[in-house]
Amino acid sequence: MKKTDRELGMLRQISRRDFIHGTSLTALGLMLPTGCGPTNDASTVSTGSVGYPPTRTGMRGSHPGSFETAHALARGGVRFDNPVDLVEEYDVVIVGAGISGLTAAYQYRKKFGPESRILILDNHDDFGGHAKRNEFHQGGDMRLSWGGTMNLEYLSFSNPVLQFLAGLGIDVQQLNKDLDFHYGGDGPAIWFDADTYGRDVLVPGFSIYGRNLDALDKIDLFPISESGRAALRQFYSSDTNILDGMSEREIEHVLRRTSYTEFLSRHAGLPDEAVELFTKATDGYWGVQPHSLSTTEAMNARLPGSHLLGDESDRAAGLEESEVVAMFPDGNASIARLLVQSLISAVAPAANAENIATARFDYGQLDRSGASIRLRLESTAVHVGNEDGHVAVTYVRDGTTSRVRAKHCVLACYHVIIPHLCPELPEEQKEAQRYQVKHPMLVTNVLLRSGKGFEQLGITGAYCPGRMHAKAWLIKGVNTAGYHEGRDVEGPVPVMFWGMVAPPRRDVPIHSQLREARQVLLEMKFEDFEHEVRTVLNGMLGPTGFDAAEDILAITVNRWPHGYAYGYLDLWDSEWKEGQAPHEIARQPLGNITIANSDAAASAYTQAAIEEAFRAVDELN
């Protein structure tokens, strides 16, 4: 029986409604120019407070208070004239305190000397960008999860990146050795929800990825038509090479110019209801759904079908290079923490790579008057320009518009905002930056009283083809960097919901899909996400005695309307000559201003953000 909101616990006062600190966002809105005020959301996180941001629950990522000023600039055309000139002198101002911005600060000091005066600005209330740490204490002992970038695919890292990580004390091979977490792979399942499929059905032991020859009987449990189930069984069991007899041009068209969903329906013979089962399978991996991915791109994300192309090796049977990972228990937030500690040692004097996950950080040390390196949070840059051999940077913090000057500036923010920050850029460069629309992403962490329900069902996670989040996993077995949780499910345990909000329309160009999905994500309230995860957990775990009203201790939503960097796609992008791709044009320096972040590499990986910081600092003289 479907539960009411009250039965799901929607009306209860959990910790998410207890994190308004200091100056309210309403007061902040009154101080900003017209159109720059924050939304009135019950889950707002206040500005001006220091505290310890990783423990804040509710709406995180692009939380209320972090984006309104930028939207006023980019969407509303608000001008921030007559800034207050601060009596602060810097060698470089870095806009953005994500992995790329922090790496740029690290490299700048290395290149120009330890006495370099550095100011790092960020619009969020925490550093790290997408490397977001979610820290829970509601159940007693600390529990960690990640709210964004998480993996180190170290086998594909360049030597400079590996040396950089080693310089921070990070032993990636040891991190991999201590890792016992597999994204639900050691207890996979598919959960079909009643709202979409008419009834709640959990199918343990079946993965949407790979060929699943040893689990074809599980298809009989799918709540779709018998003809749909028969088509799926035929799809997985067939060994026919559908490319046999095709020309190279025809093969190229199937692999690179045909969407995966078209491949499934036209070449694999699946009906629409079966094709829809795969629609959310690339949400977290790509941030793009299979109807907009080529056959090759989708299969590189481990979706099945290679056995119909004359590929006798089952790709899912072995680990690809990109699937061998190292991981911290808070994802790549530990890299950000190590970088900040290396720049401002007073935040955590005893922290190192072996204990960084459990080290307590004193955020009050980030922006100390007189310090050579200062990290200023909740500060949104609104104008950057070359000026008489220096760079002037204007930003808004606590409703006050201020300006600082430095010899250099590194823009380590995403590309589509840069035309609004730096209007002196050439128009061709601005157009290239606008082309790089980020993929909206969503990571919601829910702290449960225990993981016993998952254990009773024999699963560690589930793929949810009919829901907002594509997947849900127990976060257990990341015992690294001083954090030891083991795999015990008796105590509190985080469950991570991962994926994206589906674009409202599939039949429009990819950039329109991404923009429309971003707007949907921005307009959603915390209660929308809360209702979603309570509904899913109740439907999935309810048969084990799980009570969504009693057994959910905390909810943290990491909303990223500007998520993954735009990576070029077979179905949508041209093959540019060297030096002429949008990201290459977009990242060109201008005077004493250089540009870094993963957009500059057109690659949504941490190593790309690090490498682009190297390049941006190298370009400074």
Domain boundaries, the chain: 5-69+132-184+437-564, 80-127+366-436+569-618, 214-313
Residue 322 has pLDDT above 90, yes or no: no
Residue 306 and residue 434: Cα distance in Å, rounded?
Answer: 35
Tokens of 273: 């209801």
For residue 9, the model assigns a pLDDT of: 85
The whole-chain average pLDDT of the chain stands at 90
The secondary element (H helix, E strand) that includes residue 203 is strand 201-204
Closest among 15, 48, 52, 54 to 132, alpha carbons compared: 54
* 22 vs 370, higher pLDDT: 370
What is the DSSP secondary structure assignment for residue 179, as one 8-state letter? B
> Residue 437 carries which side chain, given as an amino acid letter?
V
For residue 182, the model assigns a pLDDT of: 77
For residue 486, name the pLDDT band (cuts at 50, 70, 90).
Answer: low
Residue 436 and residue 510: Cα distance in Å, rounded?
Answer: 11
For residue 296, the model assigns a pLDDT of: 95
Residue 30 has pLDDT above 80, yes or no: no
Residue 104 and residue 88: Cα distance in Å, rounded?
Answer: 20
Q: 3-class SS at 270? A: coil
For residue 16, the model assigns a pLDDT of: 40
Residue 184 and residue 191: Cα distance in Å, rounded?
Answer: 13
For residue 308, the model assigns a pLDDT of: 93
For residue 337, the model assigns a pLDDT of: 98
Which residues neighbour 248 within 8 Å (Cβ) at sequence distance 6 or greater? none
Closest among 134, 138, 147 to 55, alpha carbons compared: 134
Residue 583 and residue 603: Cα distance in Å, rounded?
Answer: 10
For residue 489, name the pLDDT band (cuts at 50, 70, 90).
Answer: low
Tokens of 69: 């000023």
Count Cβ atoms below 10 Å from residue 324 Cβ, excluding itself: 15
Residue 257 has pLDDT above 90, yes or no: yes
Residue 321 has pLDDT above 60, yes or no: no
**Contact, 461 vs 472, CB < 8 A?**
yes
Candidate from 25-34, 202-211, 578-587 with smallest mean pLDDT:
25-34
For residue 315, the model assigns a pLDDT of: 41
**Contact, 49 vs 79, CB < 8 A?**
no
pLDDT digits (tens, 9 = 90+) for 279-306: 999 999 999 999 999 999 999 999 999 9
Tokens of 555: 């909810």
Q: 3-class SS at 98? A: strand
For residue 319, the model assigns a pLDDT of: 39
For residue 14, the model assigns a pLDDT of: 61
Residue 522 has pLDDT above 90, yes or no: yes
80-127+366-436+569-618 maps to CATH 3.50.50.60 = yes
Cross-strand partners of 400: 397
For residue 107, the model assigns a pLDDT of: 98
**Contact, 493 vs 475, CB < 8 A?**
yes
For residue 488, the model assigns a pLDDT of: 64
User: Exposed, middle or buried by CB within 10 Å (0-12, 13-18, 19+), for 39?
Assistant: middle
